[in-house]
Amino acid sequence: MGRKLLYLFLLLSFTTQSQIGQGDYFSEAIGKNIRKYTKNSQKAYAEHDFERAEFLFDSLINNVINGSYLDNFKVRKLSGRKIELYKFEKPIFLMTYASWCTPGVGEIPALNEVAEKYYKDIDFVILFWDTKQSVRKSSREYSNKINIVYVDEKENKNDHIVQIMKHSLGFPTSFFIDENKRIVDVRRGVLHPYNEKYEISFELNHNSFLNGISLLKNLGEDDKEHLASKQNP
């Protein structure tokens, strides 16, 4: 019996490692390309060539990041307890944020509504790059179906993965990650004027979140119709 249990444990361990080890990790994939991307992106923004800047971002995501695997590193819950990102076993919607970011008026309500509907199938995680005190204040608006975690970079000065994750793509940035920790897509937050009406802001963000979630889960017919109507007005 003991040998059978040991064999089963080794088999499961090997299967998990092989699933997660089929491609580069995020930090490795982006580390090979980030300098060139940053140089070209900064040049595009300096020349006000926003179309090229967006093209460069999309190319980086589609040709470099998508298909790579999320690095496993430790984050803190609001309780202060450390956990690893791999503790989340479902497909993950991961949004990186900072307390000083100003969300659109409809962004958090839209995310809350999506999380309330799909939390049983998807782990919703907001990762703040911030101190516990700042995160606690910012977290009050989020649904309790959303996991709020944070990384204080002052505690991780020598953590290469944390530095890459925080500084490479900016924030807010949304990562859509399957159950094997493979990154399916990465998207920036919805851009619109901060004085945008609530209804418009809510719809834009709600549609964006649903669109990303559809990569991780088969949506119901109502949500598919909602997405189709918004994509083809």
Contact between 145 and 110 (Cβ < 8 Å): no
Q: Provide the pLDDT for residue 192.
A: 62
Task: Measure the CA–CA gap between 73 and 150, rounded to whole angstroms.
Answer: 11
Query: What does the pLDDT read at residue 154?
Result: 75
Q: Helices (DSSP H) in the chain: which residue ranges?
A: 2-20, 26-31, 34-46, 50-60, 107-118, 132-138, 160-167, 198-213, 221-231
What pLDDT is recorded for position 149? 94
CATH of 75-233, one of 2.30.42.10, 3.40.30.10, 2.40.50.140, 1.20.200.10: 3.40.30.10
- Tokens 């791999």 locate to 86
Q: Output the pLDDT for position 71.
A: 92
pTM listed for this prediction: 0.81
- Whether residue 152 contacts residue 128, with contact meaning beta carbons closer than 8 Å, is answered with no
The conformation of residue 175, written as its DSSP 8-state character, comes to E
pLDDT at 148: 96
Q: What is the spatial distance between Cα 200 and Cα 41, in angstroms, rounded to a whole number?
A: 29
Which tens digit of pLDDT belongs to each residue from 79-129?
989 999 999 999 999 999 888 888 888 999 999 999 999 999 999 999 998
In sequence order, which residues have a C-beta less than 8 Å from that of residue 132 and are 6 or more positions away? 76, 78, 80, 150, 152
Q: Residues near 50 by Cβ (< 8 Å), separated by ≥ 6?
A: 44
**Helix/strand/coil for 92:** strand
In the chain, where the domains are located? 21-69, 75-233
Neighbours of 208 (CB within 10 A): 21
Q: Residue 23's pLDDT is what?
A: 56
Distance, CA of 145 to CA of 152 (rounded, Å) = 23
Residues of the chain where predicted confidence (pLDDT) is lower than 50: 1-22, 224, 227-233
Return the structure tokens found at 231.
């994509």
